[in-house]
A and B are shown apart, each in its own frame.
Chain A
Amino acid sequence: MTLSEWINRKRHDGGAGRLDYNYAFLDEVSKREIRRKILKAVAIPGYQVPFGSRELPVARGWGTGGIQITLSIVLPEDILKVIDQGCDASVNAVNIKRFVNVVTGVQITTDTREATLIQTRHRIPEEPMTERQILVLQVPYPEALREVEPSEAVTRRMHAEADYSRMWLFLYEDIVQFNEITIGYRYPVTVNGRYIMDPSPIPRWDIPKLHMAETLYLFGAGREKRIYAIPPYTSVVPLEFEDYRFRVEDFQGRACERCGATDTYLDEIIDDVSGRRLWFCSDTGYCDKRCRR
């Protein structure tokens, strides 16, 4: 569908479109500002660009940063996939899809390969993505240094001076106490050799996918009013020590109960009848695809 078709459909067929809202809900000035901030974010990989986050009919903390990015870049001919924790049918994913569809009429898919634009909460799809695609991540805490410093004024100075000693000390103290780095999700990474960045609450499993990826990754934090990006073919390196290496989650000896995959991020489920522990692919779209094969 083209933009003019969207507009014409709204004019002539009362029920289908929303004449009372602009295409993609936000007004053109707001969308343009967000696109400018995205360009800045792409130009400075890993740097958090402040933006005038708009209020949406979706609650703050429910993906409003991601939604604002999606609304600002979505074209009528895009094919959109929205996932939450890897799942296409999770309540938050369904709710966001429903909203974007109502205000743009854009086509929806669950197939990672088919989608041109993917908005996600807490997972990167298992299937590799390409240059044609953009992945938009919803971010609750954009500040990777928040763990060691609560003040925004101070963390911004630390970033400016590339003063990351406290973050390294945090990891070191972790090792002293537990003999292991205990950070699970939100594992801090260095982007393009400069900024330490919060990759949003994706599991460590997904971190290697960010490194030198073909796809543009855009990160939106609506409540915290920050946008940042990893452009294609950018180095993304998790923080690690020579003798305490970064490691992804360990699913050795497990396989998905449905599709049999042994190379995917798995959800642990406690069977409510037998009390047994079962494992299933977190990426449901991929799991379904494998089952159909």
Chain B
Amino acid sequence: MKKTALSLTVLAALALGTAGAQTTLRIASLSPLSGGQSDLGTQIRNGTQLAVNEYKAQFKKLGFDLELVPYDDQADPATGTAAARKIAADRQILAVVGTLNSGVAIPSSAALQASHVAMVSPANTANQVTDRGLPNMNRIVARDDAQGGAGANFLSGTLKAKKVYVLNDKTAYGEGLAGEVEKALKAKSVTVVANEGTEEKSDFSSIIAKIKLQNPDAVYFGGIYNQVGVFIKQLREAGVTTPVVGGDGLDSTELATIAGAGATNIYYTTVAAPIEALPAAKVFATSYQKTFNDTAQGFGAFGYDAAKVVLQGVLNAIRSNGNKLPSRTQVETAIRKGNFTGLLSGAVSFNSVGDRRAATMYVMNVKDGKYKLETSINVKPVKQ
């Protein structure tokens, strides 16, 4: 008897509370918050949080209470898909910022497709993420297939290479990348001395002998930092100082550790810009530091940008819906069709499949073991 009375009071209080508050509107973030990649995933969540804080007042004026619900995908496709199903079931969530890993984005966006929850990715580069043409999946970073072209542009443009020795690690990633570079270099009539595959992890002596013999202006290696690092170490020990260029597989501080004294004259293309490379990011970096007591990194900035795209998209949808709560489908369309401004990485608009119409690749330089931004290259997706 007593119990019933209590629950009735609670229910009444809840009902009153809801009646008094504004309509709650939520967006979700989906990124690894635990496990080995949690520091990157937390950056995305925090960046999103900063954008939400910034837009809270604007939503309040329109009568909406804006909330962020962070979800953890542990960088695991299955966990990410399960989280995506939870997101789809929460009717108050209108859109998602995420994910870090393409492998998670692909099944998660498919799981969200049926309920029209839009996703804006701050990090996924795999071609397949948008090649499927899902109406809800968008990204603000360049695609993998832009890397080959960007690498080739850098080789022939900035390094003025006339003769390039191309290597690959015989994986789908390395071989694909090296193939794209070879194609783009040949189109610029740069001589490609070789496109050689090697699974070797420790002994590069015969390849280095050939490089010495043919004396190329630069070496391109489509591979991962731990293999390329050993190669560069041995190359430099053999007295070859030729620039070595690679893709985002080299994007690790371990590269310089492995290459040791040889860690110099190395360049790689990546979509994750260091925060200093974004001219507008100074204020962002300060408020990030103040809010989370941690240093902002590239993924934090891109999380912030992706969240701004989502929030401006929701605002557009609210406006076109006569200042009433928009449906998920309306938000999905507003994001795909919108033009978004005031972002750290420049203005964003999407093509028909959800690729950013003009994205940026960053070229990083490793010199004496130190990493710094060399230049940035604008890239356009094949489809406009």
A and B held together in a complex: no
Residues of A whose CB lies within 8 Å of any CB of B are: none
